[in-house]
Amino acid sequence: MSVLVTGGTGYIGSHTVVELINAGYEVVIVDNYINSKPEVLDAIQTITGKKPRFYNLDVIDKVGLKKVFQENKIDQVIHFAGLKAVGESVSKPLEYYRNNIDSTLSLLEVMKEFSVKNLVFSSSATVYGEENDFPYVETMRLGTPTSPYGKTKLFIEMILKDVNHANPELNVAVLRYFNPIGAHPSGLIGEDPQGLPNNLMPYITRVAAGKLDTLHVFGNDYPTQDGTCERDYIHVVDLALGHLAALKKLESHPGFVVYNLGTGKGISVLELIHDFEDVNHLKLNYVIDKRRPGDLPAYWADASKAKRELNWETKLTAKDACRDSWNWEKHNSGK
Ligand code: NAD
Ligand code: UDP
């Protein structure tokens, strides 16, 4: 089986490529390095002993994409490529709509031309919007994501549903990720945001490494156990394995299917900080700051559908993720 992985040198993509290669898949990556680096390919080779075929290409570029499908027999596609910074999407909505939506349209058109029928798409818990109560269940009516980034995920889900409706032969697994953290235990691949990190874990590791002074905890007056926001943090290796489970599911021609990929448990910002301190035997310099606009107090996944239908559930803990993120930060991040 050969799998085309768009965005395969990115954070979640690279971890998924490693698991795909380990499971015996032939992998072809398309990425334009807009948010990743060529070194990731060497790291994948060091971990797996195999270098995947790679195309430096914008997924929007249909001519280039067709060449990829001509030169390789693609059986299945995992579509990670996309811009993902929530805050940036508010100031650059056109870039986000153009990149995320056009890349998906180009990919779908080329897949149709080459009769490739199985697609896994990276969606996000953000599609549940503010309207729903947690835990989020796949059957909920979707909300209205506040950011243009979140809206691209919602729109793409709708596009995929329509395309599957018109062509039921196309099997689509929409995976709604919760909060991916952690890194490969080798420390060779991980999350490497450029500039000031927006997300909690890369901020924590940079403070621990002394690259940033102080971690700001955004609000401790939420209606949660300790007053800080609660999220469903999922180890990126578990998340990667969820994609393999989804590919297997697609082989049974299920049509359009949606799965939450999360642990099913929420933990607070302070709990994550303390897990990080405990497992890595260090102290983090943090202060309580005001709330960050747009943050929801708490949400996590109902992950039972993925367990039932994909036979997938998380095995790694937040502490595992804290250990692996720190290992990655110490050895490689920012190189
Ligand atoms: P990432 O930025 O690390 O990876 C995305 C990769 O896609 C990068 O390597 C980037 O260079 C590439 N890319 C972007 N646009 C491209 C284009 N037009 N053509 C070719 N390559 C392109 O992000 P990630 O965290 O690995 O996320 C992967 C996917 O999962 C994204 O679609 C993201 O929106 C989604 N997602 C991520 C999270 C998260 O917290 N990390 C949560 C929910 C959903
Ligand atoms: N957070 C924080 N300080 C930071 C970054 C994030 O306190 O420097 C909090 C944020 O308010 C949220 C949680 O950590 O409650 C997770 O934030 P992140 O941006 O990682 O993911 P999101 O919740 O936006 O999906």
Does residue 201 have its Cβ closer than 6 Å to ligand 1? no
Closest protein CA for atom 20 of ligand 2: 199
pLDDT band at 335 (very low <50, low <70, confident <90, very high): low
270, 292, 322, best to mutate for ligand 2 pocket (most atoms within 8 Å of CB): 292
Locate the ligand 2 atom nearest the alpha carbon of residue 181 and give its number.
20
Does residue 334 surpass a pLDDT of 60?
no
Assess whether pLDDT exceeds 60 at residue 94: yes
Q: pLDDT digit string (tens) for 37-52? A: 999 999 999 999 999 9
pLDDT of the residue at 331: 86
Q: Mention every residue, 6+ apart, whose C-beta is less than 8 A from residue 167.
A: 112
Question: Averaged over 238-256, what is the pLDDT?
Answer: 98
Helix (H) or strand (E) holding 202: helix 200-208
pLDDT at residue 333 in the model: 53
For residues 333 and 5, the model is more confident at 5
**Ligand closest in space to the Cα of 196:** 2
| pLDDT in the model for residue 35 | 96
* Integer Cα distance of 280 and 282 in angstroms: 6
Query: Element (H or E) spanning 204, and its range?
Result: helix 200-208
Q: With the CA atoms of 275, 288, 190 and 126 taken in that order, what torsion angle do they form, in degrees rounded to the nearest 10?
A: 100
Whether 149 is catalytic is: yes
Catalytic annotation, pick one of 149, 203, 222, 299: 149
Alpha-carbon distance values, 266 to 101, 137, 228, 302, 303 (Å): 31, 14, 11, 11, 12
Average of pLDDT values for 94-111? Answer: 98
Helix or strand (DSSP H, E) at 160: helix 148-166
Question: 217 C-alpha vs ligand 2 centroid, how far in Å?
Answer: 8
pLDDT of residue 121: 98
Q: What's the rounded mean pLDDT across residues 310-329?
A: 98
pLDDT at site 276: 98
Atom of ligand 1 nearest to the CA of 191: 3
In whole angstroms, give the CA distance from residue 304 to residue 243.
16
Tell me the pLDDT tens digit for each residue of 261-305: 999 999 999 999 999 999 999 999 999 999 998 899 999 999 999
Question: Of ligand 2's atoms, which has the minimum distance to the CA of residue 296?
Answer: 15
What is the pLDDT, as a whole number, of residue 158?
Answer: 98
